[in-house]
Amino acid sequence: MERILRGIMRYRNTTREQMVKEFQKVRDHPEPKAVFFTCMDSRMIPTRYTDTHVGDMFVVRNAGNLIPHAQHFQDEYFSCEPAALELGCVVNDIRHIIVCGHSDCKAMNLLYQLRDPDFASKLNRRLSPLRSWMCTHANSSLEKFQEWRDAGMKDPLIFSSETPLRRFVAYIDEEQKFAVEDKLSQINTLQQMSNIASYGFLKTRLESHNLHIHALWFDIYTGDIYYFSRGAKRFVAVDESSVDQLSAEVRRFYS
């Protein structure tokens, strides 16, 4: 905690004045452009690796960058994730939702271990809120991963996106660059796109192409950011050789 307090003092003496100016600029007319879901991992700093600033995004973080499917909620019982979707996309009319997973995700490493029935037993879930969270809200990702693994880990996967009839194909790590848990992380990131589309209050905007869902994936150890390209059917590293083509795809499909 002392480190945090010392950091606040450095902020007061360095960037505070500039940040106050930015706060004043967006105070009356904030125009955030995205709702950004990512993991709570301390290594994930989305405003830094997207070079975004005050007022640019709503950021929601949890273990495993999960957005629970609407089927898990009845009546008034919801979690913060759908509430954030409503606040961002309904109240503030934001048009872009981004889900960002990452490599070496401790939540995904745990999810991989939950393949073991004993490890995922009801008793263990009662003792561990994290296991319960992952079993409840990431099981669809694990099931998809297991089917893909059992088929040889080469075939493409099919995900639903903005509507049940709008689907996309995804090839996962064809170059075999990543650990098996990281492959699961990429599948989990794409699965959240389907989960987001399960909420009725987003249906009209999704069907009318007025709201768009994207997926990013961050490699912790290289610093590379991958964007899921529906055209390329895979995660593509965002770099000097790809950014123009990816930008053209975004303009073509999501404008």
Residue 102 is labelled as binding a ligand? yes
Cα separation of 237 and 128, whole Å?
35
User: What is the three-state SS of 51-67?
Assistant: CCCCCCEEEEEECCCCC
Phi, psi of 24, rounded to the nearest 5 degrees: -65, -35
Cα separation of 215 and 199, whole Å?
18
Residue 105 is labelled as binding a ligand? yes
Residue 135 is labelled as binding a ligand? no
Residues 6+ apart with CB under 8 A from 47: 53, 56, 57, 59
Specify the DSSP element, H or E, that contains 121. Answer: none
**Residue 11 CA from chain centroid, whole number:** 29
Partners of 39 in the β-ladder: 62
In single-letter form, the type of residue at position 246 comes to L
Residue 51 is labelled as binding a ligand? no
In single-letter form, the type of residue at position 210 comes to N
Region of 173 (left: φ > 0; alpha: ψ -120 to 50; beta: rest) is left
Binding-site entries: 39, 41, 102, 105
Binding-site entries for Zn(2+): 39, 41, 102, 105
